[in-house]
Amino acid sequence: YHLSSIPDYFGMDQLLTEEHKLIRQSVRDWVENFVMPKIDEAAQNHTDLPNLMKELGAIGALGPYIPEEYGGSGLDQISYGIIMQELERGDSAVRSAASVQSSLVMFPINEFGSEEQKKKFLPKLAIGELIGSFGLTEPNHGSDPSSMESHFTDEGDHYLLNGAKMWITNAPVCDIAVIWAKDESGKVRGLIVERAFEGFTTPETHNKWSLRASKTGELVFSNVKVPKENLLPNVSGLKGPLSCLNSARYGISWGVIGAAIDCYCTALQYAKERKQFGKAIAGFQLQQKKLAEFVTEITKSQLLCWQLGNLKNDHKATPAQISMAKRNNVKMAIDIARESRQILGGMGIMGEFPMMRHAANLESVITYEGTHDVHLLITGMDITGLNAFN
Ligand code: TGC
Ligand code: FAD
């Protein structure tokens, strides 16, 4: 499809600054040139795109809102959202790489790290010279991270870390991992674990049917000696990791609009070209119903993200607002991926079209960063004041 068919049904472009539009154009161009030609093959072969993190660094997609003095671009939250949208139009794996590096690794180091940690890690993370991962989920504790078992003891001149994290994006390829574990008093703290530390291993999780162009694995800590200077000094408690999730979930809310756009534009073009019963299938009411609903849902999601971005720029976005946007927009995108595939008939199952890949990817996206159910319960708690989690 032609890029001019990307929907802007309510004229949101007029709300963007020239800088926003330039950022969008440059990421869009990169996705067209670097991601689109290779992504089907990478996903089919379960391999990641070559040099992805360095490429993302070169286009400014890593830590865009991190201050320039630490290697970021000091951009606003709308810019971050736009970057995520453009990346996920290519593939959720590409957006995932940028989400984890930006919101789950650079964000906590910038927010909660010491000056030395910021200087040591952020500039290299920003250019993709270092790859980071984020370890919160454990084999026995996913939606309920407060029950985590990973823990460390104070051994005088270092900490001794034991435990395991599971389902970790980029674990097998990471140079550092920001991980969350309990201290001796049971408080959740953040630690930066480096690849070279003895007792730290990262086995890969094989045979996924989703996010096949992204590496997923475990982080296993067996009596790992962590230097004291690798503790994130400025946060304790679950609000540490959950603050990172606020940022990543916000980015996902924008990102999935990109996946939905890719499916919608592909289906619209196909429906106008494909003829059955002597006319273009886009002329049949049933196909129009699907296409009209897709563009309606994409437009609503765009407006939700726009206002959430404004709230975030003003530091007013609540975790519950972010949950609503993440939940709504991921469901919007996965529904469009599934329904749009049908518009292509048999062709819809093929790798040369993106629907099956997006639909399969979005099965992870609807689960990670808080499941669809968990976000509903967060909204439920926010509006009723009653906790339905336990
Ligand atoms: P609860 O008692 O409600 O809260 C504990 C403390 O945390 C504070 N808090 C938050 N702070 C900042 N942001 C938020 N969103 C926060 N939510 C809660 C809260 O105020 C409290 O602070 P304090 O000072 O009183 O101690 O916690 P709970 O144990 O009842 O759990 C709440 C629940 C279920 C909402 C939460 O744990 C949750 O969100 N669960 C889902 C877990 C999750 O999202 N995991 C994601 C793992 S990372 C990932 O998936 C990366 S995928 C990356 C990719 O590839 O793109
Ligand atoms: P569970 O928590 O066991 O949930 C199973 C089902 O029970 C879900 O449907 C859930 O909604 C439901 N459920 C749970 N509690 C309740 C309740 N109170 N009420 C009603 N229903 C409930 N984690 C990281 O820390 N870092 C990463 O980089 C990362 N990357 C990931 C990449 C991929 C590809 C995937 C698939 C996951 C990743 N995750 C990561 C983990 C992800 O965050 C968890 O899978 C997610 O939080 C859910 O946890 P779980 O899989 O243990 O499911």
What mean pLDDT value characterizes the chain?
98
Is 390's pLDDT higher than 90? Answer: no
Listed in sequence order, the DSSP H helices in the chain are: 18-30, 39-45, 52-58, 77-90, 92-99, 107-112, 115-126, 239-273, 285-313, 319-343, 355-365, 372-384
Q: Is the beta carbon of 43 within 6 A of some atom in ligand 2?
A: no
Please state the pTM of the whole predicted model. Answer: 0.98
Instruction: Convert the pLDDT of each residue in 53-71 to its tens digit.
Output: 999 999 999 999 999 999 9
340-359 as b/e, with b when 16 or more CB fall inside 10 Å?
bbebbeeebeeeebbbbbbb
Instruction: Convert the pLDDT of each residue in 215-248 to its tens digit.
Output: 999 999 999 999 999 999 999 999 999 999 999 9
> What is the rounded average pLDDT of the residues 25-45?
98
Q: Which long-range contacts (CB under 8 A, 24 or more apart) does 314-318 make?
A: 317/246, 317/250, 318/382
Rounded to the nearest angstrom, the distance between the alpha carbon of 247 and the centre of ligand 1 is 12
State residue 29's pLDDT score: 98
CA atoms within 13 A on the CB side of 172: 11
Q: What is the largest CA-CA distance in the chain?
A: 80
One-letter identity of residue 385: G
Catalytic site includes residue 369: yes
Q: Is the beta carbon of 210 within 6 A of some atom in ligand 1?
A: no
User: CA 124 to CA 155: how far, in whole Å?
Assistant: 30
Taking alpha carbons only, the member of 66, 70, 81 closest to residue 120 is 70
One-letter identity of residue 344: L
Q: Whose CA is nearest to atom 11 of ligand 2?
A: 373
Instruction: Convert the pLDDT of each residue in 327-377 to its tens digit.
Output: 999 999 999 999 999 999 999 999 999 999 999 999 999 999 999 999 999
